[in-house]
Chains A and B, each alone.
Chain A
Amino acid sequence: MRSIIVLAITTFKGGVRDRLLQGLILVGLLLIASTAVFSSFSMRQPVEVAINYGLSVIHILSIIMTLFFGLNLISRELDSKENHFVLTQPIPRSSYILGKYGGFFLNILAIITILGLFCIIGLLLMTAGAKGSIPFPWVKFLAALLGILISCAILGAVILLFTSVATSSIFPFLMSCAIYAIGENTQTVRRYIASGMVGKDFPPVFRLLTDIIYYLFPNFALFDFKAYAIYGLPLSGKLLLVSIAYGTMYAAVCLFFAVILFERRDIS
């Protein structure tokens, strides 16, 4: 357990020093600073547009950072043989994987917290000057940030899973991008097919395939609480709990297989 914590902290510190992450945070801060300009074109709901813009920026940047940072975790270290020093130490490979994931999670948590804080400051400045708009939905805003964090946590675990078997960093990157794209849209496509808009000619095989994909791949749409935060819609605590449970379990399963596959991998 101690080795996991030490590795997590080391990975976290390495992530903080990463220039790519620093640059992305800077871009994120600039984008959030532009919230007021973006929302000023709204006719009836500048505050809602500001929340929408801030959360979307955090979401997009967090996913980009997850992809790049997740790849840096093991894949590039394996490419450059940087991690051979750690792996030759008396540390179980499972601890190595879990420690790396812990560091990654802390980094993403820090990034979302920083961007979220800047977003809140920008929104508070806006809501102070707005008239007749909705009160700031604090709990739902935090729920939306939590949803983004869970999405990133799952995506990070998926990256680790592919990294643990891949011999180059390109394969896990492409696979993770594909899985994210599928996971983000599988619910929309399945609901579209279920709505009957596809017509009777739609092949049943595709319908079955959509169902398989829906259950097999992570459903990232489940963690999208942005609409609740933007419009102050009532958010069910049960939905939130189920989402957290589903996300945690999915990430745990990915990590479990990542550990098994990495333990059997021939590093030399």
Chain B
Amino acid sequence: MKRVGLCILLIFFVALTTYYYPKIQRTYEPSLRLHRLPPTLALSVSSFGNKQLMSTLIFYNTEFYFGEKVGFRKETPELKLIYDALNKATDLDPYNMDCYYFAQGTLSWIKPAIPVLNRLLIKGFKYRPWDWYLPFFIGANYYFQLKDPINAAKYTKAAARLNPRSPLLATLAARMLYQGNQTQAGIIYLKSLIRETANPLFLKKFEKRLNALEVIFSLEKGIERYEKKFGKSPQLIGDLIGGHIIKKVPPDPYGGIFYIGKDGRVHTTSKLAEGWRKNDSHSDIIVKKGVPKRSSEKEGGVP
């Protein structure tokens, strides 16, 4: 009887600590770090002939780190170390598509990272010349981030050649060649990514960006209709409502406010950036009827 009581007591304490430790752990545990990996030669030697498995394990470690850091802890990940890990993983196994896909998903949003990211993707394309995703990613990075439509078209055409079943790629490449409507090109690009992705974190990001671009695209079409109807360009977004072109200005999913820039294109005060707050970088903009009176906006409307 004593033993049964002791057993119940022990189980009770285990249950109690199991209930409480996650809360205490989250309060006191240090910031999650991705450790710098040893040189590729050391990794290769220590894999004992299983370089592909080592590459996959490095990728999983990076993936789990990113998931916990961004999805669970809501912290900013160490992108330089993510790149370092993915670069070493692809040195071990240059065919590892997961690494290239993950690198594109995490690093393509940061403009200064694009040159190294493209170098990584070009390495992948050298080893996977049959894979249309890699030139597609490289082309998209050149186009949307580096504003280099010539190189963008070169790689997107390579992607279209490798994936002739997708008319979207050919359309995108053509648009890049003519440096046409960047918003529509962005919508095509994001729709392709959404269709193929299974990662919920990426999917959320892509869908949010797509939503914003579709709104911008509809406003740009509205401007075109306004110009046809009145023979002049609208000065304010509100003019589209006044001219009965649109009923209301749709909200920016990133929390910004749409306005018409000096170039006549639709911009937003959020710059389509994650984490933008009205009182942060744009506190000097006086907003009236959804239109800023003064703006230092030079870019926007592109993914």
Q: Which residues of A contact B (CB under 8 A)?
A: 41-45, 48-49, 52-53, 56, 59-60, 63, 151, 180-181, 184-185, 188-189, 192, 220-221, 224, 226-227, 230-231, 233
Contact = CB atoms under 8 A, between A and B. Distances in A.
A56 B41 contact: no
Contacts of B53: 52-53, 56
A53 B56 contact: yes
B281 interface: no
Residue of B52, B93, B101 with most partner-chain A CB within 10 A: B52
Interface string B38-78: 00010011001110110010001001100000000000000
Instruction: Give chain B's interface residue range (CB within 8 Å of chain A).
Output: 20 to 34
A231 B51 CA distance: 14
A245 B243 CA distance: 83
B217 to A, nearest CB: 29
A43 B64 CA distance: 12
Contact of A45 (B60, B63, B98): B98
B63 A221 contact: no
B199 A43 contact: yes
B48 A43 contact: no
B95 interface: yes
Nearest to A60: B50
B254 interface: no
Nearest to B49: A184
A218 to B, nearest CB: 12
Residue of A44, A49, A53, A220 with most partner-chain B CB within 10 A: A44
A224 B49 CA distance: 7
B101 A44 contact: yes
Contacts of B194: none
Nearest to B94: A227
Contacts of B64: 41
Contact of A185 (B44, B60, B98): B44
Interface in B175-218: 198-199
Nearest to A220: B49
Nearest to B101: A44
Contacts of B52: 52, 56, 226-227, 230
Contacts of B48: 60, 63, 180-181, 184-185
Contacts of A192: 41
A144 to B, nearest CB: 11
Given A52-B53, A53-B56, A221-B49, A189 B41 contact: yes
B79 interface: no
10 contacts: A41-B63, A43-B63, A45-B97, A53-B56, A56-B53, A60-B48, A63-B48, A185-B48, A189-B45, A220-B49
B98 to A, nearest CB: 5
A5 B96 CA distance: 45
B102 interface: yes
A43 B49 contact: no
A188 B60 contact: no
A184 B45 CA distance: 8
B52 to A, nearest CB: 5
Nearest to B93: A227
Contacts of A233: 95
Contact of B50 (A49, A56, A188): A56
B49 A49 contact: no
A90 B50 CA distance: 45
B249 to A, nearest CB: 37
Nearest to A233: B95
Contact of A49 (B45, B98, B102): B98
Contacts of A181: 48
A59 B198 contact: no
Interface string B13-49: 0000000000000000000000000000100110011
A227 B95 contact: yes
A220 B48 CA distance: 10
A43 B56 contact: no
Given A56-B50, A185-B44, 16 more contacts: A41-B60, A42-B98, A43-B63, A49-B56, A53-B53, A53-B56, A59-B49, A60-B48, A180-B48, A185-B45, A188-B41, A189-B41, A220-B49, A224-B49, A230-B52, A230-B95
Interface string B245-266: 0000000000000000000000
Q: Across the A-B interface, give the 5 residue pairs with the lowest CB-CB distance, nearest first.
A: A56-B53, A56-B50, A231-B95, A44-B97, A184-B49
A158 to B, nearest CB: 15
